[in-house]
Amino acid sequence: MSKPRDPVAGPDSPEPPFPIRLSGPVIKGFGRGSKDLGIPTANIPADDLSEKHPELTTGVYYGVVALDPKTYHHETSEGSTSTAVVLPAVLSIGYNPFYKNTVRSVEIHIMPALTQPSPTAAGQEGHTKFNRLPDFYKTRLNLLILGYIRPEFDYVSLEALVEDIRVDCEVARESLLREAYKCYIVDSGKTSGKVSEDRAWLVSFD
Ligand SMILES: Cc1cc2nc3c(=O)[nH]c(=O)nc-3n(C[C@H](O)[C@H](O)[C@H](O)COP(=O)(O)O)c2cc1C
Ligand SMILES: Nc1ncnc2c1ncn2[C@@H]1O[C@H](COP(=O)(O)OP(=O)(O)O)[C@@H](O)[C@H]1O
Ligand SMILES: [Mg+2]
């Protein structure tokens, strides 16, 4: 039995090099996320990252995303909105050692709003149902990476990989619920200059 993982990752507020801004159109991956794992991941090109942050190690990270509302219509109780909605995310940057990819990919799993119950919480009945939205291929996605969780691993089984990603979702959620991270999702009106700037960038799609 492996030892339990820490419930949160990273310091109490983002420290350099975070937040890291990444942006790109959602592209096709290998089609394994949903089909093999039951975990959809929006893939975006990795070129931008290699250019601007060559030092960033491969691994699993958490952050916040926004989708271009011109092509992605987010339904709320008030109907669809024209402003981008900011949602929590967990992502993997690397070569997916379990699948032995030869090219580096950036794959983002978008989680439900922090105000909603977590579908990946421990002790749920049956097997975990990860968050699923209507497809949004080709939509522009803006991402702020806020913290690092762990390196990428190879696994003895698909089930072991899925279970670790489930825990990643919970670690990301708990980490983002901290005040200095939550302010990137929920605009409390009290946010400082740099946070407001990053948040404004996140929801801007020209
Ligand atoms: C939070 C998260 C953590 C991941 N960790 C690993 C990992 O440790 N090892 C690995 O081989 N793949 C990891 N993956 C990648 C999955 O294997 C990948 O999402 C899957 O291969 C789907 O790829 P596709 O988008 O090309 O279909 C992770 C994915 C996510 C979203
Ligand atoms: N919660 C979600 N997070 C990320 N992508 C999602 C989510 N729900 C649905 N999707 C859609 O599923 C696609 C990813 O599915 P996936 O099986 O990983 O395919 P691919 O290998 O083409 O990336 C995304 O591009 C997006 O359109
Ligand atoms: Mg994917």
Model confidence at 27: pLDDT above 80: yes
With the most atoms of ligand 2 within 8 angstroms of its CB, the residue from 92, 135, 166 to mutate is: 135
**Could you tell me which residue, 54 or 41, shows the higher pLDDT?**
41
Average pLDDT of the chain to the nearest whole number: 92
Cβ proximity of 65 and 108 under 8 Å: yes
Model confidence at 79: pLDDT above 60: no
Average of pLDDT values for 158-177?
A: 97
Q: Provide the 3-class DSSP secondary structure of residue 199.
A: helix
This complex has an ipTM of 0.98
pLDDT of residue 191: 77
Average of pLDDT values for 8-12?
A: 97
Backbone phi and psi for residue 66, each to the nearest 5 degrees, phi listed first: -140, 145
How far does the centroid of ligand 3 lie from the alpha carbon of residue 125, in Å? 26
Indicate the pTM of the whole model: 0.95
Atom of ligand 1 nearest to the CA of 109: 31
Instruction: Indicate the pLDDT class of residue 80, thresholds 50, 70 and 90.
Output: low
